[in-house]
Amino acid sequence: MQDLAGKPVIVRTYAAAKATNLFDDVYVVTDSDVIFQEIEANGGKAIMSQKEHDCGSDRIAEAVEHMDVDIVVNVQGDEPFTSREGLEKVLAVFNEPDADKIDLASLMSEIHDWKEINDPNTVKVIVDKDNFALYFSRSPIPYPRDKNVAIQYYKHKGIYAFRKQAIMDFYRLPMRSLEAVEKIECIRYLEYGKNIKMTVSNTTGVEIDTPEDLIRANKLLKESKPDAVNNKFRNFPMVPKVVFGEGCFDQLTSILSSHKKEKAPFIFLVDDVFEKNTEFLDRINLRFNDKLIFISAEEEPKTSQVDELVKNIQTEFTHAPSGIIGIGGGTVMDLAKAVSIMLTNNGSAADYQGWDLVKQKAIYHVGVPTISGTGAEVSRTTVLTGPVRKLGINSDFTPFDQVILDPELTKGVSKNQWFYTGMDCFIHCVESLNGTFLNAFSQSYGEKAYDLCLEIFLGDSLSDEEARAKLMMASWHGGMSIAYSQVGVAHAMSYGLGYVLGTKHGVGNCVVFQHLEEFYPKDVALFKEMVKKHNVEIPQEICKDLSKKQMDTMITVALGMVPLWENALGRNWETIITPEKLRELYLKM
């Protein structure tokens, strides 16, 4: 019940668990009237537990005994910084091939500092080769007798996911001596022979075990937002090298030459719209073992597609490539960024969807946009559709090392496509300029891009060549505007459309934006003028015949875009955007 920036810790923990959108239901189980009433007063669900319990899992066992549930996740009440990333990981193990061996799952994070390793308040865990827990202790385990053996220490985090059967099996089993002496609850499961699968989650927050922790947590909340997505100060990278102008594409060969490493190829990912365009392809100088791979932009990039490209490159070449060059629209830009990251980071691209999860610097990568509007050439993200969500790999290593801005390359883009991708830029600006995260840095870029869009799409004075050049710069500025800001309502809802119906980003934004008068009245009116002026078709009523399940998924995906909603509508966005509200909006689309 201690105060954390204006609300009790337990209320913040409850809200954080709920905001992950991962659960069918979230409850606080308590034996305290005060806590029970506080949760209910804040619109949450609480269960009064009847009996005395030695530990949290027994209390939860009592609460779920008569509930119809498969998996129960125990989030400790003192974890207000609980993030979606960690909970998602602890749930994901139940989809792995060895899932039937798992009784419960929990999280651990890497620790490096000896002070922390020696601190008895930090519970350490050691695991077997498959990450099943061997033992938990407040002592440093293992003991480093041989200082030359590289060993990773892990700290146990107090989040558990149980199969209902496992938690019921253990309910009322007597505590044994190891648990009693260490005062670590999960040792009981080991003492009775259960399998605890551990998974690594390195996101940091503050657990609140001591009064000092509470002071630190208050400070953290005052200085930044709890999810660390909208830090007040962001030390973000910008594209270090850029060349601009009609015809500058021919600089590519000389630019690459200084990055060539012996035996290591350049890999060119090129939009397959250029597959038959020999005049264009001749301008790409393939040398030695360089490789050109055509990419279809038919569907938006997927994590599985990135994984496959990386696997193929690694199988074909013994040396890591000298560089990855993406030539195409937003789809190819994003694939090139993601492939360059995944060539130096282990696992699947899906493991890195989120903020700042990438550990190793990417391979040198170059972006050559052939349509303008997405801002992907400058942005710190690569948007990917993964097995569970559509979300970017947002990291310091994502932006290109070099960009080549040649407006001439955009000549062949069809009118509809030109409009859809151009509107991505316009909508980015509207959402950034009307957002709560806006500062002068983002505003200065956003306003310029916005004005350029109006000149291009509503004015009459530009030649084709001028319009191409200006749209390319609008895209650049629009992308920069997002650096210190975020997109908003249209993007959140467009991600839902993309996930369920495969609606492409640019079209999806337009489909959504035409119905957002209540959020962006002036700009929706301007948008409709542009649609009329260019006589472009925007699909209508695409959500009319969705099944209930599809609609629910769409709503869940859209609601999951927390930073976007927060930017659009402020911290209390959840009072405005409910699932019902989204359903109503989608039904118009």
Interface positions, 214-243, toward Zn ion (CB under 5 A):
none
Shortest separation between residue 112's beta carbon and ligand NAD, angstroms: 32
d(CA 45, CA 47): 7
Shortest separation between residue 191's beta carbon and Zn ion, angstroms: 53
One-letter amino acid of 151: I
Shortest separation between residue 550's beta carbon and ligand NAD, angstroms: 20
Note whether 351 binds Zn ion by CB under 5 A.
no
Pairing between β-strand 153-163 and β-strand 104-111 as defined by DSSP bridges: antiparallel
Q: Which run of H or of E encompasses 441?
A: helix 440-458
Binding-site partner at residue 448 among ligand NAD, Zn ion, none, CB < 5 to 8 Å by type:
none
Contact 136, 186 (CB under 8 A): yes
SS3 347: coil
Note whether 382 binds ligand NAD by CB under 6 A.
yes
d(CA 312, CA 292): 13
Contact 551, 586 (CB under 8 A): yes
d(CA 407, CA 371): 8
Among 120, 144, 412, 502, binds ligand NAD (CB under 6 A): 412
Binding-site partner at residue 329 among Zn ion, ligand NAD, none, CB < 5 to 8 Å by type:
ligand NAD
Q: State the residue for tokens 């303008």.
A: 372
DSSP state of 103: S
> x/- site string to ligand NAD, residues 297 to 336, per CB under 6 A?
x--xx--------------------------xxxxx-x--
Binning the chain into helix, strand and coil, the percentages to the nearest 5 are 45, 15, 40
221 Cα distance to chain centroid: 21
- Structure tokens of 6? 């204006």
Which segment (58-66, 195-203, 376-384, 463-471) binds ligand NAD by CB under 6 A?
Answer: 376-384
Q: What are the b/e assignments for 5-18, b being 16+ CB within 10 Å?
A: eebbbbbbbbbbbb
Note whether 417 binds ligand NAD by CB under 6 A.
yes
Site residue total, ligand NAD (CB under 6 A):
29
Interface positions, 272-291, toward ligand NAD (CB under 6 A):
273
User: Given the complex with ligand NAD, which of 77 and 330 has the nearer CB atom?
Assistant: 330
- Structure tokens of 244? 């601009």
Shortest separation between residue 22's beta carbon and ligand NAD, angstroms: 23
d(CA 125, CA 119): 13
Nearest to 137 by CA among 128, 127, 146: 127
> x/- site string to Zn ion, residues 418 to 437, per CB under 5 A?
------x-------------
Shortest separation between residue 538's beta carbon and Zn ion, angstroms: 16
Which segment (128-136, 417-425, 546-554, 565-573) binds ligand NAD by CB under 6 A?
Answer: 417-425
Binding-site partner at residue 410 among Zn ion, ligand NAD, none, CB < 5 to 8 Å by type:
ligand NAD
- Please write down the long-range contacts of 458-462, taking CB distance under 8 Å and 24 or more positions apart: 458/526, 458/529, 458/530, 458/533
User: Given the complex with ligand NAD, which of 306 and 383 has the nearer CB atom?
Assistant: 383
One-letter amino acid of 551: M
CA dist list (Å): 539 to 88, 237, 364: 34, 37, 39
User: Given the complex with Zn ion, which of 79 and 424 has the nearer CB atom?
Assistant: 424
User: Given the complex with ligand NAD, which of 322 and 486 has the nearer CB atom?
Assistant: 486
Note whether 494 binds ligand NAD by CB under 6 A.
no
Show Cβ contacts of residue 435 under 8 Å, excluding neighbours closer than 6 positions.
485, 486, 488, 567, 568
Binding-site partner at residue 328 among Zn ion, ligand NAD, none, CB < 5 to 8 Å by type:
ligand NAD
User: Given the complex with ligand NAD, which of 94 and 236 has the nearer CB atom?
Assistant: 236
Binding-site partner at residue 106 among Zn ion, ligand NAD, none, CB < 5 to 8 Å by type:
none
Shortest separation between residue 380's beta carbon and ligand NAD, angstroms: 8
Binding-site partner at residue 409 among Zn ion, ligand NAD, none, CB < 5 to 8 Å by type:
ligand NAD
User: Given the complex with ligand NAD, which of 201 and 331 has the nearer CB atom?
Assistant: 331
- Structure tokens of 188? 């009981």
Binding-site partner at residue 230 among Zn ion, ligand NAD, none, CB < 5 to 8 Å by type:
none
DSSP state of 542: T
Binding site for Zn ion (CB under 5 A): 424
Binding site for ligand NAD (CB under 6 A): 271, 273, 297, 300-301, 328-332, 334, 370-371, 374-376, 379, 381-383, 409-410, 412-413, 417, 421, 424, 505-506
